[in-house]
Amino acid sequence: DAKTTQPPSMDCAEGRAANLPCNHSTISGNEYVYWYRQIHSQGPQYIIHGLKNNETNEMASLIITEDRKSSTLILPHATLRDTAVYYCIVRSGGATNKLIFGTGTLLAVQP
Amino acid sequence: GAVVSQHPSWVICKSGTSVKIECRSLDFQATTMFWYRQFPKQSLMLMATSNEGSKATYEQGVEKDKFLINHASLTLSTLTVTSAHPEDSSFYICSALRDSNIQPQHFGDGTRLSIL
**C-alpha to C-alpha distance for B108 and A46, rounded to whole angstroms:** 11
Residue B66's Cβ-side half-sphere holds a number of Cα atoms within 13 Å equal to: 11
Please report the pLDDT score of residue A96 as a whole number: 66
pLDDT digits (tens, 9 = 90+) for A54-88: 999 999 999 999 999 999 999 999 999 999 999 99
For testing the chain B interface, which of A31, A59, A99 should be mutated: the one with the most B CBs within 10 Å?
Answer: A99
Examine the pLDDT at B101 and tell me if it is beyond 70.
no
pLDDT digits (tens, 9 = 90+) for B41-52: 999 999 999 988
pLDDT digits (tens, 9 = 90+) for A7-36: 999 999 999 999 999 999 999 888 899 999
Examine the pLDDT at A41 and tell me if it is beyond 60.
yes
For testing the chain B interface, which of A59, A101, A103 should be mutated: the one with the most B CBs within 10 Å?
Answer: A101
**C-alpha to C-alpha distance for B32 and B59, rounded to whole angstroms:** 15
Nearest to B104 among A41, A49, A87 (CB): A49
Strands (DSSP E) along chain A, which ranges?
Answer: 9-13, 18-23, 31-38, 45-50, 55-56, 61-64, 70-75, 84-92, 105-110
